[in-house]
Structure 1
């Protein structure tokens, strides 16, 4: 229930609009967010959620309309303005200084000082107090660029709280977290709200929204279509408002694997860094899920299978042929493709066009001497774009202008142009909306039904259990369980935690 009462809203948005290249991404949005409220913004990719957060956080300016914080009109032209008004934005892109330590990032430009001299002990005491309040486990001395993405996000939250933020705007904060980390963050959000901090949460996880938020606002095509108490809604009702129609939210049933299906990829004794003696196999038409906590070696295993990192020991075979000196080039030649964890940092060239990105991995197939056959390229890109349903007005538009769901589909399309026999996928639906998520799930099961072998890593245990024929669980870099389809969720989670934690 809203907490506004007789108090002015912590945040009030009046007639806010934003256009890019003549296209409206926000249209005349009016919204009140009460002090101490957890208010969630939901909608499809491209609905305007992140744009609205960036306007509140000063990352971009609105073209029309006004903002009011604590009842007073404000001008927010940059993040410094927003911070001065007690509003802190934690975006998906992050805003840390990679080469500095955790402690330096948390108190950057806000050191404790006396007579111009920094008080290191006072900063450490402040840091320890933040750690005690949040329950995070972060080494203040560690360089930020050496931390996992989820831990970097925790550093951003610590920095915001250290600045005394009264309004915390979080854009997809749980997208990079394991199950227990999500639970801890949601509990922290509840405590912040109880202590009077206003939290604005953008999330594609509707169960999460309904479990932590007081109110929810739905945006569709840049317009506000609903703002209501969460108690009045279910995931299904929110989806109907988000997309304007019914969406099948059930996982598609994967086709049975033929008993005589050949082994497409196998690995034995795979070892490097976190990964210790991992054995696995996947057959034609099979979807093998890999589960585990952050730091269990999931991503590292996929990178070893693709040759992005070179194993110090172990044997990898594709269709019965041992691949020696594994490398991305050799993997691609053998019919193996990798959809990486971060499409922005590892998968796409964000400033280049959709066509250039989709064609990138298969340029050699359309080369005529030193030149690329552009007409053949356009035809190939058009065909695969239709197959995966990339929605974009022009293929020459920069891929960074696409919604998260369309960017992810472009990443799939890039590899499907090579017609791989083995597809490795790391976090297939991270940061995409429910409609795009359903499309990607159907795409994966459809590829497997056509005979492709798929190995899929996901932090969403329900996604793995819903899509996979089998789920392999890693813990501390070792395979500790191989579970068939239909295994209860709690059994898989218990295997991931082992004896060192409790199921959350």
Structure 2
């Protein structure tokens, strides 16, 4: 691994001034005959922090996967430091000092942090593993990155944010000189994001090349040297980050101007009835959670990763075992620990992890979107296929689901379109209560705007909504009220006019 140096990054001009680096030429890729990348030519200088931006489905992740050996290009070549190389597998990329850190983590859940970081590369003497050397190396990595991880913690016990840190440590332990990072901050809280951006700058200053895919435009402009825009698989622009604003990036990404701010919230009707009432819920991770949400109201749950936000939603939905407390919808108490009864009462959940909790990745787009409302279109145990296809088609249009062939596995969609499908699954029959965990994780600006509008439109029609987001601006902008959580409890409540500082202070210090 390159030795980490002081904060700062290579802020050079174009790649001709720095001939060392990585380049792709004529890169193309098709899936089922549909072009995803078309003749991409790009050079990234050694030590550069280079942003790759575009809407979901623009080809960003596919380009990173080609460089990282996870996907084989149909055409084109890759050069490292002016020399053509063959990268057909992840092993090839690792051998060339390239590590891909993707949105879907590749850790072994039942192994420790230490074992995952040095997986397949344990220090040994005469064929015997020598754990002390690995622990010393791990301590060095922790000190240089500023991460706080116990080497003996089993990965399955980590939050998503901490698991992301393990992926980064694993890449650094392999001596990577090129890091391809796909949405690395999407699962991190504010402190973790700031720390990761600091680490990225230090790596860049030490000569490591960072290729960064992110939907956080301010973050990209803050840390990147240059920015490349892809649209519909084509290379639209590469320029110094200093030449751009968030608005100019959005315009290039979507080919038109887009309002990427959260829309205005319609007021909650005076005297609106309480739809969701939670009283004294307790589980292994949350204690004495009580909250109410009225008809047409959006309640935000803010707090750090691990504060109990997600666990609260799971407990209300019946997916997290509760030992005490109650949940009622429209005044009717529902049985605890029963997802079936929660759904029957009109509660819907868009979970934090679409892959593990929300979608059946091997099943088709139609099957996933139709799954939650099968009972509505079934008679005597048989699904009315025509009604199902019509309902799915209408909802796919409503959420702007792109690149979706109804019979194709949903795993073939981009992350953003998978997220839209997850919403569509519950919106065919609008719920009384919508619980949303990280609604726009891994989606582009245009998709984020559409998802925000969907949530607000649902509330305007009377649905009671609870939103959890690690993006503080999102939870403040989307919510009529905000409850702040810390260590499994609600510690503060604010109205829509709350400041960012007030919410953050409560999350850290209450």
Q: TM-score, normalised by structure 2?
A: 0.96
Equivalent position of 1:245 in the other structure: 256
SS in 2 for 1:177: coil
Equivalent position of 1:496 in the other structure: 507
Counterpart check, 1:331 vs 2:342: yes
Equivalent position of 1:157 in the other structure: 168
Superposed CA deviations along residues 95-145 of structure 1, whole A, max 9, x for unmatched, are: 222222111111122121222222211111111001100111111111112
From 112, 116, 132, the counterpart of 2:127 = 116
Counterpart check, 1:481 vs 2:485: no
Residue 393 of structure 1, CA deviation: 5.0
What are the within-5 Å matches in structure 2 for residues 282-321 of structure 1?
A: 282-321=293-332
Residue 324 of structure 1, CA deviation: 2.8
SS in 2 for 1:105: helix
* Contact residue 282 and residue 288 of structure 2 kept, 8 A: yes
Residue 465 of structure 1, CA deviation: 1.0
SS in 2 for 1:8: coil
Give the Cα–Cα distance (whole angstroms) in 2 for the partners of residues 370 and 447 of structure 1: 30
Superposed CA deviations along residues 410-464 of structure 1, whole A, max 9, x for unmatched, are: 1111112232111000010000000000000011101100111000000011011
What are the within-5 Å matches in structure 2 for residues 169-188 of structure 1?
A: 169-188=180-199
RMSD of the TM alignment (CA)?
1.2
More moved, 184-193 vs 368-377:
368-377
Residue 80 of structure 1, CA deviation: 0.9
SS in 2 for 1:275: coil
From 50, 54, 63, the counterpart of 1:39 = 50
What are the within-5 Å matches in structure 2 for residues 102-501 of structure 1?
A: 102-392=113-403, 394-498=405-509
SS in 2 for 1:176: coil
* Contact residue 9 and residue 32 of structure 1 kept, 8 A: no
Q: 1:326 to 1:97 in 2, by over 3 A?
A: closer
Residue 6 of structure 1, CA deviation: 4.7
Equivalent position of 1:61 in the other structure: 72
Give the Cα–Cα distance (whole angstroms) in 1 for the partners of residues 263 and 72 of structure 2: 41
Equivalent position of 2:41 in the other structure: 30
SS in 2 for 1:429: coil
Give the Cα–Cα distance (whole angstroms) in 2 for the partners of residues 325 and 296 of structure 1: 22
Equivalent position of 1:502 in the other structure: none
SS in 2 for 1:14: strand
Residue 192 of structure 1, CA deviation: 0.6
SS in 2 for 1:459: coil
Runs of 4+ in 1 over 6 A off after TM superposition: none
Gaps of 5+ in 2: 1-10
Residue 476 of structure 1, CA deviation: 0.4
Give the Cα–Cα distance (whole angstroms) in 2 for the partners of residues 237 and 467 of structure 1: 24
More moved, 262-271 vs 95-104:
95-104
SS in 2 for 1:432: coil
Residue 394 of structure 1, CA deviation: 2.8
* Contact residue 265 and residue 283 of structure 1 kept, 8 A: yes
Give the Cα–Cα distance (whole angstroms) in 1 for the partners of residues 52 and 211 of structure 2: 7
* Count of residues paired in the alignment: 499
Residue 289 of structure 1, CA deviation: 0.4
Q: 1:392 to 1:53 in 2, by over 3 A?
A: closer
Give the Cα–Cα distance (whole angstroms) in 1 for the partners of residues 482 and 138 of structure 2: 39
Residue 383 of structure 1, CA deviation: 2.3
Residue 5 of structure 1, CA deviation: 5.8
Give the Cα–Cα distance (whole angstroms) in 2 for the partners of residues 498 and 355 of structure 1: 46
Residue 387 of structure 1, CA deviation: 2.4
Gaps of 5+ in 1: 500-504
Q: TM-score, normalised by structure 1?
A: 0.97
SS in 2 for 1:390: coil
* Contact residue 274 and residue 300 of structure 1 kept, 8 A: yes
SS in 2 for 1:136: coil
Give the Cα–Cα distance (whole angstroms) in 2 for the partners of residues 146 and 193 of structure 1: 31
Give the Cα–Cα distance (whole angstroms) in 1 for the partners of residues 349 and 127 of structure 2: 52
